[in-house]
Structure 1
Amino acid sequence: MRLFSTERTDVYLLTEDFAEEFQQYLVANKDYLAPFEPLRDKQYFILNNISERIKKSVSEFHEGKNLLIVFTIKEEREIIGSINFTNFVYGVFQACYLGFSIDHAHQGKGLMHEVLNMAIEYVHEKYELHRVMANHLPDNLRSRKTLESLGFIKEGYAKSYLKINGVWQDHVLNSLILPEK
């Protein structure tokens, strides 16, 4: 299901229709993304397991808990990036977490900024969230610059925050406050 398009991309809800393309994306970027993600065993990359994770995420999407999206170059089918809005909290908090990745061959072209800009607007409109939180490793300058360009503000520094690539690592904590609707 296409959610929206940007100038250069088409953006879709990640559904089982994209399981094979998503598997290709994950496998093609396995080594590139490894320093930024939890350890992934071989089972993580098996199509049936990917389909099961997607099925669970779609169920959680319908429950209003998350939004997992993928994007392609306009009019193409190959996935070149992934954006995850997770852990939606409503009520007095109205917030979620943001995670994102892009294919190594498409990095540095402004595509992630282009898609994130519209994706954040989409989440704000659809879910009326007030705060989007995104954290990154201290030495991940690309993520830092992308978040800064979108208006995210550094709010803190968390020691030993997440176990990334098998090691507990510090993270820079950032947030974007969205205007009230």
Structure 2
Amino acid sequence: MKLLSTERTDISLLTSDHAENLQRYLLENRTNFAPFEPLRNDEYFTLDGISERIAYATADYEAKKCLLMVVTPKDEQSVIGSINFTNFMFGAFQACHLGFSIDHACQGQGLMHESLKQSITYVHERYGLHRIMANHLPDNFRSRKTLGSLGFVKEGYAKSYLKINGIWQDHVLNSLILPG
């Protein structure tokens, strides 16, 4: 289900219809993403494993806990990126976490910035969230630049924050405060 479009991309809710294209995306970027993600076993990349994660994400979406999306080139089906808004919190906090990735062949073209800008507006308008938090490894300059260009501000530094690529690693903590 397409949720929104930018000049060059379509952004859709992650559904079982995307399983094969998502698998291709993950496999083609496995080496590229490894330094920035938890260790992934082979099951993570199987169609069954992906379909199972999509089913869980669908249930969480329906419960208003998250919004997992895929980015495709305009009017195409191939996945070139993912945008995940997770850990929705309502009430006095009204916040979530943001994670994103883009195909190694599409880096440096502004596609993720374009897609994130529209997606953030969508999440703000649809869910009324006030704070979006996004964290990155200290040496992930691409993510830092992308987040900065979207108005995210560094709020802190967390030692030994997440186990990435098998090692507990520090992270830079960022947030974007939205009006309302």
Distance across 1 between alignment mates of 2:148 and 2:157: 16
Report what 2:126 is aligned to.
126
TM-score scaled by length of structure 1: 0.99
- Helix, strand or coil at the partner of 2:34: helix
Runs of 4+ in 1 over 4 A off after TM superposition: none
Distance across 2 between alignment mates of 1:90 and 1:137: 27
Determine whether 1:100 maps to 2:100: yes
Report what 2:62 is aligned to.
62
Report what 1:80 is aligned to.
80
Distance across 2 between alignment mates of 1:119 and 1:29: 22
Report what 2:46 is aligned to.
46
Would you say how many aligned residue pairs link Structure 1 and Structure 2? 180
Distance across 1 between alignment mates of 2:76 and 2:128: 31
TM-score scaled by length of structure 2: 1.00
Distance across 2 between alignment mates of 1:147 and 1:71: 17
Report what 1:167 is aligned to.
167
CA deviation after TM superposition for structure 1 residue 75, in Å: 1.1
- Helix, strand or coil at the partner of 1:119: helix
Determine whether 1:149 maps to 2:149: yes
| CA deviations over 1:92-134 (Å, ceiling 9, x no partner) | 0000000000000000000000000000000000000000000
One-letter code aligned to 1:135: N
Report what 2:18 is aligned to.
18
Distance across 2 between alignment mates of 1:94 and 1:46: 35
Distance across 2 between alignment mates of 1:59 and 1:163: 26
Distance across 2 between alignment mates of 1:77 and 1:112: 17
Distance across 2 between alignment mates of 1:71 and 1:44: 20
| CA deviations over 1:49-84 (Å, ceiling 9, x no partner) | 100100110110010000000011101110000000
Q: Mark the runs of 5 or more structure 1 residues left unpaired by the alignment.
A: none
One-letter code aligned to 1:29: N
One-letter code aligned to 1:119: S
What RMSD in Å do the two structures reach over aligned CA positions? 0.3
Q: Mark the runs of 5 or more structure 2 residues left unpaired by the alignment.
A: none
- Helix, strand or coil at the partner of 1:52: helix
- Helix, strand or coil at the partner of 1:87: strand
Distance across 1 between alignment mates of 2:11 and 2:112: 11
Q: Give identity over the alignment, percent.
A: 68
CA deviation after TM superposition for structure 1 residue 28, in Å: 0.4
- Helix, strand or coil at the partner of 2:75: coil
